Amino acid sequence: MQEFKSFSKRLETLTLDQFEDFALDLVQFQAQTNPIYGAYLQARKINPVGIQKLEDIPFLPIQFFKDATVFCGSTDAITQIFSSSGTTGAITSKHLLWSEEFYLDHAQRLFEKEYGSLSDFHVLALLPAYLERPGSSLVAMASHFIRESNSEASGFYLYNQEELLQQLGTLANGNRKVLLLGVTFALLDLAESQAGFDGFPNLIVMETGGMKGRRREMIREEVHQRLRAFFKVEQIHSEYGMTELLSQVYSKGKGKYQLPSCMRVMLRDLNDPFSPSTRSQGGINVIDLANFHSCAFIETQDIGFWDENGFLEVLGRFDHSELRGCNLLVS
Give the tens place of pLDDT for each residue, 11-47.
999 999 999 999 999 999 999 999 999 999 999 999 9
Q: Is the pLDDT of residue 212 over 60?
A: no
Percent of the chain with pLDDT strictly greater than 70? 92
Calculate the alpha carbon distances from 29 to 26, 150, 168, 178, 273 in Å. 5, 39, 48, 42, 24
- Judge whether 243 and 133 are in contact, CB under 8 Å: no
pLDDT of residue 91: 79
Q: What is the mean pLDDT of the chain?
A: 91
More confidently predicted of 321 and 226: 226
> How many other C-beta atoms are found inside a 10 Å radius of the C-beta of residue 259?
18
Identify the three-state secondary structure at position 16: helix
pLDDT band at residue 227 using 50, 70 and 90 as cut-offs:
very high
pLDDT of residue 220: 83
Tell me the sheet residues that pair with 258.
Answer: 250
139 has a pLDDT exceeding 90: yes
| Local confidence band at 331 (pLDDT 50, 70, 90 cut-offs) | very low
Q: Could you tell me the domains of the chain?
A: 2-98+258-304 (no CATH), 101-240 (3.40.50)
Distance CA 132, CA 137 (A): 13
d(CA 8, CA 11): 5
